[in-house]
């Protein structure tokens, strides 16, 4: 995701410095016009806008607050944007840390996959100060087809977790349905035509059912990261006294797929353990 976003910024003429924990992933950007930094601190030192896109709370904390973290070098007035899918608690903690450094903060996670990132067709769902969003809008616009302002800090992170838990539940339900179709001996193509052409046929169901039946588990959305997102959503729901029963059931399906070796594959691979009779 971060690579696609970075290339959209370069394509739109923004001067860019990149950092990745894997030097192999960051290296190619030097030939594309970016400066490759040796640490988050180095990357942030001269930046007006600092963007993080990593896997989880732990990775984000290390990037921002670690020994060579970005905040150690962030300039007063810099806009710091957390685009990762993380907990609301971490977003609020980071916002306070940024403010203490004299910076401005947005939580701006995205909807869309790697293909959307590469095409500049992400949707940013943003929490934070509206005036800060206007400062950062040209940067976000270069990577997106839509920018939706949700409200105060944490709003974007909360809606992203809600969005992803609904997606995770859909994918788990689809996998169970497909296993039921295959175990029953029904004509799979015709049965799926009914599902994808009718009320259940969301864009996600259509896309993932095609991957499940090909099968093609090349990662668009890593299965283990969906499990992480479901876990985060369940935690946030509990804080609001909302028990996410469907998310909990879906998480069990994803955890079963991880336990059987599918964690680094696309979310569509959740179906594989269910296929075994």
Name residue, tokens 């009718």.
Answer: 198
What distance in Å separates the CA atoms of residue 175 and residue 265, rounded to the nearest whole number?
15
What lies within 8 Å, CB to CB, of 151 at 6+ separation is 127
- Least Cα distance to 139 among 49, 206, 24 occurs for 49
- Identified catalytic residue from 25, 135, 145, 160: 160
- Specify whether 160 is catalytic: yes
- Tell me whether residue 79 is exposed, middle or buried, using C-beta atoms within 10 angstroms of its C-beta: 0 to 12, 13 to 18, 19 or more: buried
Handedness of CA 98, 121, 160, 69 (dihedral sign): negative
Q: Are 79 and 135 in contact (CB under 8 A)?
A: yes
* Active site residue ranges: 160
């Amino acid at each position: 995701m971060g690579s696609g976003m970075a290339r959209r910024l370069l394509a739109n003429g923004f001067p860019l410095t990149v950092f990745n924990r894997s030097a192999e992933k960051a290296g190619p950007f030097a030939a594309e016009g970016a400066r490759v930094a040796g640490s988050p601190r180095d990357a942030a030192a001269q930046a007006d806008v600092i963007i993080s896109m990593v896997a989880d709370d732990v990775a984000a904390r290390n990037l921002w607050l670690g020994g060579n973290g970005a905040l150690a070098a962030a300039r007063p007035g810099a806009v710091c944007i957390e685009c990762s899918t993380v907990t609301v608690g971490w977003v609020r903690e980071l916002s306070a840390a940024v403010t203490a450094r004299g910076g401005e903060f947005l939580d701006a996670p995205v909807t869309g996959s790697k293909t959307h990132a590469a095409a500049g067709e992400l949707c940013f769902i943003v929490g934070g100060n509206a005036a800060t969003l206007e400062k950062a809008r040209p940067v976000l616009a270069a990577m997106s087809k839509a920018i939706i302002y949700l409200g105060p800090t944490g709003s974007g992170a909360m809606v992203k977790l809600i969005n992803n838990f609904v997606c995770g539940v859909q994918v788990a339900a689809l996998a169970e349905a497909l296993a039921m179709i295959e175990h029953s001996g029904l004509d799979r193509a015709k049965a799926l035509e009914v599902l994808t052409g009718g009320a259940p046929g969301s864009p996600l169901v259509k896309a993932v059912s095609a991957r499940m039946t090909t099968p093609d588990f090349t990662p668009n959305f890593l299965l283990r990261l969906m499990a992480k997102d479901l876990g985060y959503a369940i935690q946030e729901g509990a804080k609001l006294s909302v028990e996410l029963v469907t998310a909990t059931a879906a998480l069990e399906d994803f955890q079963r797929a991880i336990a059987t070796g599918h964690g680094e594959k696309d979310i569509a691979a959740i179906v594989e353990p269910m296929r075994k009779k």
